[in-house]
Amino acid sequence: MIGSSRIILTELHESDVSVDYLQTLNDSEYMKYSRNSNFIHTQSSQIQYIANFRLSNNLLFAIKNTENKKLLGSINCYIDFSKMTLDLGFLIFKNQQGKGYASEALELLIPYLEAQYPGMTAVIGSNKSNYAMHEIAKKFSFRIESDGHQNTDPNLRFTRVFPRLNPVSPPVVPDFILKAKRIGVAAYDAGGAEQISWLLRNLPTKALAYIDGPANRIFENSRITFDRAGQLSDVMSCDLVITGSGWMSQLEVNAIKEAQQRGIPCLTILDHWVNYLERFDSNKMNLPQILAVTNSVALQMAQEKFPNKLVWLLPDFQVENYQKRMRQSEKTSSCALILLEPTSTLSSMFAVSDSVIEELLKSAIMHKRARGLSAVIVRPHPSQLGYPLLEHKLKEFPDEMKISDASSLLEDLENSAVVFGLNSYAMYISSQCEIVTHSYFKGKIGHWTNYFPKILDVDI
């Protein structure tokens, strides 16, 4: 609910359909600028209209008197993520006209829409002769949209572009996500699945999830309750689909494409700072409709790579939870933790090879000895089936190095005085938990760890 001393904006219910409501809609002269003037409106037709809004992702607000809660009119908002538009429509009852309610309602609504849909464009369509609506639109900095040609259309479009988020914008879970009635999930990649699982822990709706690969383990260990989908098409029955953004399979890309074809809003959570476009095959048809990140660095990068997309900044629930648990932990932090990741055959200056892994293991062993730590714990990446080199090193240093048997990253971090990694997002988490963290690629031009001063290079 949004309110002022005179009016409030709240959800419009079927029980709000009143005599004033129907009389206004059926007054053809009063409604002459509206397409509603072409129809006969009844109690049942308006109840169905309101019910249809509730089943959709669009918004329908009641404008009510603050004191007596009397209905004065309504505002609807049709959301189109592909066009990045919010189309607004107003209805002020005939016996309430001329009192400034439409203007006051818009004044209340704009800050809400700006916060919920950053970077999108609010649109007010109006007949050329509806001068009262023109004045309201102009009052709130809406501009007449023009293509520079003689326009015979009887209607005008007034638009206002909302500002995008910035590095100091507070992270929030938008109402669009919180109020989704049925959420579908498609995930294969471990990093994306981890981000999705933490978001789901903080949502009231149980998800229907189609998961495969490393995401299976992530979801099984997350302790969230969810229903499993037998196939990807099952999640398309939901009114919001959430995907990760990995490149190890086509599952996420296929979900984005299918959701787009079906007209279902699809949110993709970016879990890292690298290869944003490559995750979607650099194909415009595969690009996400909506994106979300959990830190300001990723926000800036996502906005640069996807300039015409909505990007939300969500709270980093995983980091917040880990920080709290680490403060409460009574475990002794006496180990050096190595965060491994899949070896890569890609030609990249940050590619992971056996030689790179060997150097990382050597640095961790030297650090362990220099600081007198109890052991080097190696945490394999959930998507890597095996590391032959690691097996050799375990035999070489049987008394100093061992494989982690922890089910979660948090358990390993609680035991760690220092962390070593390559490209892993987990290094960001460990550094945010105030653990001394080293990256093999820190200092290399273009590597994401350079954005985070707390992450050091591997020199001891």
Q: Are 90 and 158 in contact (CB under 8 A)?
A: no
| Residue 382 forms part of a structural domain | yes
Q: Are 80 and 14 in contact (CB under 8 A)?
A: no
pLDDT at site 39: 83
pLDDT at site 409: 92
Domain boundary (161, 193, 221) is at 161
Q: Is the pLDDT of residue 370 over 80?
A: yes
> In CATH, what number is assigned to the domain containing residue 62?
3.40.630.30
Q: Are 226 and 208 in contact (CB under 8 A)?
A: yes
Residue 30 tokens, joined: 């009063």
Confidence of residue 346 (pLDDT cuts 50, 70, 90): low
Domain boundary (135, 161, 187) is at 161
Confidence of residue 151 (pLDDT cuts 50, 70, 90): low
309, 331: one domain: no
Q: Are 11 and 5 in contact (CB under 8 A)?
A: no
DSSP 8-state code for residue 162: P
293, 362: one domain: no
286, 241: one domain: yes
Non-local CB neighbours of 244 within 8 Å, separated by 6+ positions: 186, 187, 188, 189, 191, 192, 193, 195, 196, 215, 252, 268, 269, 271
278, 373: one domain: no
Q: Is the pLDDT of residue 101 over 90?
A: yes
| Residue 401 forms part of a structural domain | yes
Q: How many domains does the chain have?
A: 3
252, 120: one domain: no
151, 7: one domain: yes
| Residue 254 forms part of a structural domain | yes
Q: Is the pLDDT of residue 152 over 90?
A: no
| Residue 167 forms part of a structural domain | no
Q: Is the pLDDT of residue 126 over 60?
A: yes
Non-local CB neighbours of 369 within 8 Å, separated by 6+ positions: 400
pLDDT at site 280: 80
359, 445: one domain: yes
* Helix, strand, coil % over all residues of the chain, rounded to 5: 35, 20, 40
Q: Is the pLDDT of residue 98 over 80?
A: yes
| Residue 200 forms part of a structural domain | yes
For the segment 193-222, the average pLDDT, to the nearest whole number, is: 93
For 386-429, the pLDDT digits (tens) are 777 888 888 888 899 999 999 889 999 999 999 999 999 999 99
> Distance between CA 136 and CA 156 in Å, rounded?
13
Pairing of the two strands 240-243 and 266-269: parallel
> Distance between CA 211 and CA 235 in Å, rounded?
11
Q: Is the pLDDT of residue 184 over 80?
A: yes
Structural domain including 245 reads 175-315
| Residue 168 forms part of a structural domain | no
274, 218: one domain: yes
Tell me which residue of 227, 223, 188 sits closest to 205, measured CA to CA: 227
For the segment 159-172, the average pLDDT, to the nearest whole number, is: 96
pLDDT at site 283: 62
pLDDT at site 460: 56
DSSP 327-389: HH------EEEEE------S--TT---HHHHHHHHHHHHHHHHHHT-SEEEEE--TT----HH
For the chain, the first-to-last Cα distance in angstroms comes to 56
Q: For the chain, state the CA radius of gyration.
A: 27
Q: Is the pLDDT of residue 146 over 80?
A: no
Written as one letter, the residue type at 90 is F
> Distance between CA 208 and CA 227 in Å, rounded?
5
Q: What is the mean pLDDT of the chain?
A: 91
pLDDT at site 345: 61
Residue 206 tokens, joined: 């149980």
Lowest pLDDT segment from 278-282, 312-316, 361-365: 278-282
Q: Are 51 and 14 in contact (CB under 8 A)?
A: yes
pLDDT at site 432: 96
**Which run of H or of E encompasses 456?**
strand 455-456
Length of the chain as a residue count: 460
133, 217: one domain: no
78, 128: one domain: yes
For the segment 77-98, the average pLDDT, to the nearest whole number, is: 94
| Residue 166 forms part of a structural domain | no
Lowest pLDDT segment from 55-59, 165-169, 284-288: 284-288
> In CATH, what number is assigned to the domain containing residue 430?
3.40.50
> In CATH, what number is assigned to the domain containing residue 277?
3.40.50.2000
154, 16: one domain: yes
| Residue 170 forms part of a structural domain | no
Domain boundary (161, 187, 215) is at 161
The pTM (predicted TM-score) of the whole model is 0.90
25, 152: one domain: yes
Lowest pLDDT segment from 18-22, 277-281, 445-449: 277-281
